Amino acid sequence: MRERGFDDKSFFVCGFVDWGVDTQMGLSEAYGLKRCIQEFYHGDESIVIHLLKEHIDVKYIVSHYYRFISKDEYDTALYLLEHTNISQFMLAKALDDGVLASINGKGFYIADIKI
């Protein structure tokens, strides 16, 4: 397309029908995803599809690597217990569930369900 005078920024990808993803991105970002799938995940696009469906930013996806642990939940739990601590999980879960709010520069607020 460059030969015909078109810049990569002139094109946008509006999603991938076969993945069920409608994330809009530039052509260079789409090629970045392709490169990510080929080089990081050896052609297995499942993690990229999952992240796109969760509306994770394309730039984040291509700059972070997710390592496969196991198909088994027990093995995964053992791995997590060996490589992290329970406080990290509790804090992340509370933030994700909206029980806890983190305000930059101010601190943490907890939802008071007794009100």
Q: Which of 111, 115, 114, 93 is nearest to 101 (CA)?
A: 111
Mean pLDDT, the chain, integer = 86
pLDDT at 115 over 50: no
pTM listed for this prediction: 0.66
Distance CA 98, CA 85 (A): 21
Contacts 24+ apart (CB under 8 A), 106-114: none
Percent of the chain with pLDDT over 70: 90
Q: What is the pLDDT of residue 53?
A: 93
Once rounded to an integer, what is the mean pLDDT over residues 27-42? 92
Each residue's pLDDT tens digit, 56-66: 999 999 999 99
Please name the residue that has the structure tokens 């406080």. 87
pLDDT at 71 over 70: yes
pLDDT at 69 over 70: yes
Each domain of the chain, given as residue ranges in start order, spans 2-63, 73-110
